[in-house]
Amino acid sequence: MLSKKIFCIGELLIDFVAENQGADLAKATVFTKKAGGAPANVACAISKLGGNSAFIGCVGEDPFGSFLMNRIDAFDVDLSLVQRSSTFTTLAFVSLAENGERDFVFSRGADRELQYDSSIKSSFRDQMVHLGAATALLGGPLEKAYSHYLFDAITENAFISFDPNYRADLWKGNEKTFVKKCMPYIEKSHLCKFSLEEAQMLSKKNSLPEASEALHQIGAEIITITLGSEGTWVSTKNSRQTIPSIAVTPVDTTGAGDAFIGCLLQQISQLPSHEMLSESESTLMDMVEVANRAGAITTTGYGAIDSLPDINQLNSSE
């Protein structure tokens, strides 16, 4: 059976990564240009693992936009639905602490200019749609397009995946607005991927069981909460458990969550029906175990897309 196509919607941007690792951005002087953006990372992760992915987003009609298009095209991601804008390509400046955690700021541009395309709707029929942009709920045409594409995915019987990708620097002082805007996506998604911080913020609960229960009540069918080196908490209506990860020495955590959800979606896309996930808890848990490995491997190299694993790396990490 052919795998389902996974449409990843949101930002594609330039990550300027500081070369003086272990310092904050205020001390950074030299940066390396990398392709980034959570939904684009996910699309590349899916494709690199043998899945069928498409990216829907907007980049500038400038050299940075062209660089990004060429970089993502190298992964055989379908870019036929990407739009180009006269607005400059979105940039992010990233510095890494000694433990691999990020310090970053956005210079937002073309990603917000994505226009809704009604002709895409029929392409979603019985396929998969991943809504995982860090910038999608910040207003502008992108947010409007996101809302339309969510509705299209629902009406076309697509499997819907949501990752809120909360960024504190983007929502400082507006956290309540962020929570409110996430609710329709949690309500309608078959699969939600959260960090611990996101799960606690969105559920208003501290413990994993209580947070999961609150998020299920909103509507999410399958909940994964990534816990870094501790693995991933997985919650369905019938089962809750932590699936362990593998031990690695992280140098850059950028894109680990994207590799995780990309790997999980790629595996789900191979199923005849996503209903199998609720019918067989062991199938889902096995998939999460593999996805944990993908996320962990990604942290061992610099740059999200450059560090995404392929099938051979996943298998050798078992």
Tens digits of residue pLDDT in 110-161: 999 999 999 999 999 999 999 999 999 999 999 999 999 999 999 999 999 9
Residue 91's DSSP bridge partners are: 14, 107
CA distance 170 to 13: 15
Average pLDDT, integer, range 197-221: 97
Residue 21, pLDDT score: 64
HSE-up (13 A, CA, CB side) for residue 260: 33
CB 108 within 8 A of CB 139: no
* Residues 47-60: tens digit of each pLDDT: 999 999 999 999 99
- Residue whose tokens read 């956290």: 175
The reported pTM is 0.94
Residue 251, pLDDT score: 82
CA distance 138 to 220: 22
Residue 1, pLDDT score: 55
HSE-up (13 A, CA, CB side) for residue 186: 25
Burial class (CB in 10 A: 0-12, 13-18, 19+), 249: exposed
* Residues 7-33: tens digit of each pLDDT: 999 999 998 988 876 667 888 888 989
Mean per-residue pLDDT over the chain, rounded: 93
Residue 22, pLDDT score: 62
Average pLDDT, integer, range 166-182: 94
CA distance 263 to 50: 10
Using the predicted structure, report yes or no on whether residue 108 has a pLDDT greater than 90: yes
Residue 96, pLDDT score: 73
Residue 304, pLDDT score: 75
Using the predicted structure, report yes or no on whether residue 37 has a pLDDT greater than 60: yes
Residue 100, pLDDT score: 58
- Please give the angle made by the CA atoms of 39, 44 and 47, to the nearest 5 degrees: 125
* Residues 223-249: tens digit of each pLDDT: 999 999 999 999 998 899 999 999 998
Residue 237, pLDDT score: 86
Contacts for 66 with CB less than 8 Å, ≥ 6 apart: none
CA distance 18 to 113: 27
Average pLDDT, integer, range 254-271: 95
Average pLDDT, integer, range 283-312: 90
Average pLDDT, integer, range 68-84: 97
Residue 126, pLDDT score: 96
Residue 20, pLDDT score: 72
**pLDDT above 70 covers what percent of the chain?**
97
Q: Which residue has the higher pLDDT, 255 or 292?
A: 292
CA distance 311 to 107: 34
CA distance 227 to 238: 21
Residue 63, pLDDT score: 98
* Residues 266-287: tens digit of each pLDDT: 999 999 888 888 777 889 999 9
CA distance 26 to 4: 44
Using the predicted structure, report yes or no on whether residue 262 has a pLDDT greater than 60: yes
Residue 290, pLDDT score: 96
- Give me the long-range contacts of 172-179 (CB less than 8 A, separation at least 24): 175/201, 178/137
Residue type, 9: I
- End-to-end Cα spacing for the chain: 26
Closest by CA to 254, choosing from 26, 110, 92, is 92
Residue 305, pLDDT score: 84
Residue 275, pLDDT score: 84
CA distance 274 to 107: 38
CA distance 257 to 307: 12
CA distance 123 to 52: 13
Q: Which residue has the higher pLDDT, 122 or 168?
A: 122
What 3-state DSSP class applies to 54?
strand
